[in-house]
Amino acid sequence: MLAGCGSSSTSSDTKTITVFAAASLKQVFTQLGTQYESAHPNTKVTFSFAGSSDLVAQLNQGAPADVFASADLNNMDKAVKGGRITDKPQNFATNVLTIVTPPGNPAHVNSLADLSHAGLRLVVCAPQVPCGSATKKVTSDAGVAISPVSEENSVTDVLAKVTTGQADAGLVYVTDAAGAGNKVTTVNFPESVKAVNTYPIATVADSKNADAAKDFVTLVTGPDGRKALQQAGFGQP
């Protein structure tokens, strides 16, 4: 803003970069943001966490942002097609599905196949959203016919239905399960590797602080980022 008025910026000016990131990255990115700010005292990092498709819609409508991290390749492609991303996106993390149940697993769900049991109140993501397409892929590959009582819009909605005890089981990402702590019991299943979700990150083409944006991407893809992501349950691409 000030630059537009003709005043020259000095080194003491505080820069701000805005990072659009998938909701599942909230914990890790907030932590990395603090780390970035302490390494770059003149730069402030602000985040907008939401579903990847919401973020792409906002980006393609011209929302100001410097970095975009998506929870799937498909939404990153949409941002590239929309012209907001011109750099080649880098894949920095992966996520797989897991089964969560209320604490103690009262319905005795021990495998993916158990999800097809009659009377089991199973909640999953709708096929239209990334976690739902992963669910569809995993179950159809394994030949497990599920009849969920609800197909939610987001993985957090699925998690909430399980933590409140409304559902007997739900399919969420391992990172969501890790984030829920002892509010859920996690049942991993080997078939989950059939649908690995890949997270790409890129700087936004018209970023006002392209250098700072690049630095943040480097932090996420570098050893510190890898460590933080691993701790949160993410895999390496």
Partner 1 sequence: MIRPPVWLYLPAAIGFVLVAGPLVALTGAVDWSHFFGLITSESSRVALELSLRTSLAAAVLCVLLGVPMAAVLARVRWRLLPVLRALVLLPLVLPPVVGGLALLYLFGRHGLVGRELESFGVRIAFSTTAVVLAQTFVALPFLVITLEGAMRTAGDRYERIAATLGARPSIVWWRVTLPLLRPALLSGVILAFARALGEFGATLTFAGSLQGRTRTLPLEIYLQRESDPDAAVALSLLLVLVAAVIVLVAYRRPGLAVDRVRTPARSAGS
Torsions phi, psi for 181 (to 5 deg) = 60, -130
Helix (H, G, I), strand (E, B) or coil at 89: coil
In whole angstroms, give the CA distance from residue 186 to residue 188: 6
Among 12-20, 22-30, 138-146, 161-169, which window interacts with partner 1 (CB under 8 A)? Answer: 161-169
Helix (H, G, I), strand (E, B) or coil at 16: strand
Retrieve residue 209's tokens.
């602080």
**Interaction residues for partner 1, span 64-103 (CB under 8 A):** none
Residue with Cβ nearer partner 1 (148 or 200)? 148
71: Cβ–Cβ under 8 A, 6 or more apart, which residues?
Answer: 22, 23, 24, 25, 51, 52, 95, 130, 197, 199
In whole angstroms, give the CA distance from residue 183 to residue 160: 10
| Bridge partners (DSSP) listed for residue 125 | 152
Q: How many residues at the interface with partner 1, by CB under 8 A? A: 19
Query: According to CB under 8 A, which one of 66, 157, 176, 191 is a site residue for partner 1?
Result: 157
Query: According to CB under 8 A, which one of 34, 46, 86, 164 is a site residue for partner 1?
Result: 164
Which of 201, 203, 21 lies closest to 93 in space, CA to CA? 201
Residue with Cβ nearer partner 1 (33 or 102)? 102
Query: According to CB under 8 A, which one of 77, 87, 151, 224 is a site residue for partner 1?
Result: 151
In whole angstroms, give the CA distance from residue 158 to residue 139: 17
Among 30-38, 82-90, 147-155, 172-180, which window interacts with partner 1 (CB under 8 A)? Answer: 147-155
Helix (H, G, I), strand (E, B) or coil at 194: helix
Among 3-11, 50-58, 171-179, 218-226, which window interacts with partner 1 (CB under 8 A)? Answer: 50-58
Residue 129 binds to partner 1 (criterion: CB under 8 A): yes
Which of 94, 118, 114, 93 lies closest to 105 in space, CA to CA? 114
Residue with Cβ nearer partner 1 (87 or 151)? 151
Among 107-115, 134-142, 148-156, 194-202, which window interacts with partner 1 (CB under 8 A)? Answer: 148-156
Residue 184 binds to partner 1 (criterion: CB under 8 A): no
Residue with Cβ nearer partner 1 (51 or 89)? 51
Contacts to partner 1 by CB under 8 A: 51, 53, 57, 121, 123, 126, 128-129, 148-153, 157, 161, 164-166
